[in-house]
Structure 1
Amino acid sequence: MKKIIIVSSILLYKIFFAQVIIGDAIGTATDKTSVLLEFANTNNKGIILPYVKSLPAGVTPGTILLDASNPSQARIKYYNGIWQDLSGRDGNINTALAQQTNNSENANAKVIIGSNTSSADGVLVLESTTQAMVIPVVNDVNNIPSPSPGMMVYVNKTGAKRLAFFNGSIWSFWASN
């Protein structure tokens, strides 16, 4: 009985304090101690942010999305107390929206990584005070054959390391000062 409790405790510890890597077992981060979620090093894929047809109210700071309230003027935005534009320019996602199916969604559905519960409202919620997400890394956005509106990647190019966002028409880049 003691052995069963010990093994069960170890398994539960691994489950609750595990890192999630999507796409392979290696990921891109060399030091995994502060990583909650990361992605395989494919060099040609990114994260697709959720499209919203109206900006949500009661948003948790740190929310990032594609504002599709006007599909011909779509913009990547994040929330830090007020909505901030990351695109800088309009994107047209009318074609992408027309190709989506109109399945009804469960408004309460969400995946939480790093905690058992979260009061944050989102499709994917990462909860941690000590770990972060490593977004997909690419050498150049030109390596991505068909970027989707709302795609986000980190460009790891000598002299041009930065976040890149595809708003449906063009790539926008954000580099720290």
Structure 2
Amino acid sequence: MKKILIPLIISVGCLINAQIGISRASVSNNSVSLQFGDNENKGLILPYVTDKNSITEKGTMIYDTTDNKVKYLKDTNTWFDLSVNTIGIADLSLQGSDKTEQPGAKVSIDTTGGNKSTAGILVLEDTNKAMVLPKVANPHLTIINPDAGMIVYDTSKRQLAVFNGKMWSFWKP
């Protein structure tokens, strides 16, 4: 019975649509794959990267430890600086040389049920769903101890807020 039940459960699990709410009961609509809770004073921390040369996936967002800036990959080999020409600071002691990277470790959220091979720690693989950033009113005042690489949506100014370890940068469409 176990031999039949376990593959059946795994097969059914692959067919479930992946939509995740963090600090919330559910996502707001069908266009969302990952959504954070509203009205909090916490942000999303981007991965600290020491060598971005092997990253090729457009739209990837990182905290570049070589120059302490928040960046995203706009085009192949073209990184866009979201830190607005300011150099931040970050405590990299937790990422010492004695840490072993696990290249296969990642979380993939997609509703296609396919086996995607996109590189990354957290990969949202849907073509018709998006991530909704944590929403924080006045993050430069509300988040007391932000970490380098933090990114949120400022609900007061209605813009993207990025912390590079030294100061906040704000991006309005």
TM range (shorter): 0.7 to 0.9
User: TM-score if structure 2 supplies the norm length?
Assistant: 0.82
Runs of 4+ in structure 1 over 4 Å off: 99-102
Superposed CA offset, 1:115-162 (max 9, x none): 4422221000001111100010001111112101100000011xx210
Residues 1:76 and 2:70 aligned together: yes
- Find the counterpart in structure 1 of residue 83 from structure 2: 87
- Residue-pair matches, total: 158
Shift of 1:108: 1.9
Please tell me whether the aligned partners of residues 61 and 70 of structure 2 are also in contact (alpha carbons under 8 angstroms).
yes
- Find the counterpart in structure 1 of residue 20 from structure 2: 20
Inter-partner Cα distance in structure 1 for 2:144 and 2:88: 18
Inter-partner Cα distance in structure 2 for 1:15 and 1:143: 40
Inter-partner Cα distance in structure 1 for 2:34 and 2:148: 22
Provide structure 2 residue ranges, at least 5 long, that are not aligned to the other structure: 1-7
Please tell me whether the aligned partners of residues 55 and 69 of structure 1 are also in contact (alpha carbons under 8 angstroms).
no
Inter-partner Cα distance in structure 2 for 1:113 and 1:22: 13
Coordinate RMSD, CA, aligned = 2.2
> After the TM superposition, which residues 1-177 of structure 1 pair with which residues of structure 2 at under 5 Å, given as runs?
12=12, 16-26=16-26, 29=28, 32-70=29-67, 74-81=68-75, 82-88=78-84, 89-93=86-90, 96-100=91-95, 102-114=98-110, 115-141=113-139, 142-157=141-156, 160-176=157-173
Shift of 1:15: 5.5
Please tell me whether the aligned partners of residues 18 and 109 of structure 2 are also in contact (alpha carbons under 8 angstroms).
no
- Find the counterpart in structure 1 of residue 4 from structure 2: none
Superposed CA offset, 1:58-89 (max 9, x none): 4100100000013xxx1100002111111111
Give the secondary-structure state (helix, strand or coil) at the position aligned to 1:56: helix
Pair 100,145 (structure 1): closer, same or farther in 2 beyond 3 Å: farther
Equivalent position amino acid for 1:48 in 2 = I
Identity %: 38
Equivalent position amino acid for 2:73 in 1 = Y
Inter-partner Cα distance in structure 2 for 1:113 and 1:138: 24
Provide structure 1 residue ranges, at least 5 long, that are not aligned to the other structure: 1-7
Please tell me whether the aligned partners of residues 20 and 26 of structure 2 are also in contact (alpha carbons under 8 angstroms).
no
Equivalent position amino acid for 2:102 in 1 = N
Shift of 1:100: 4.6
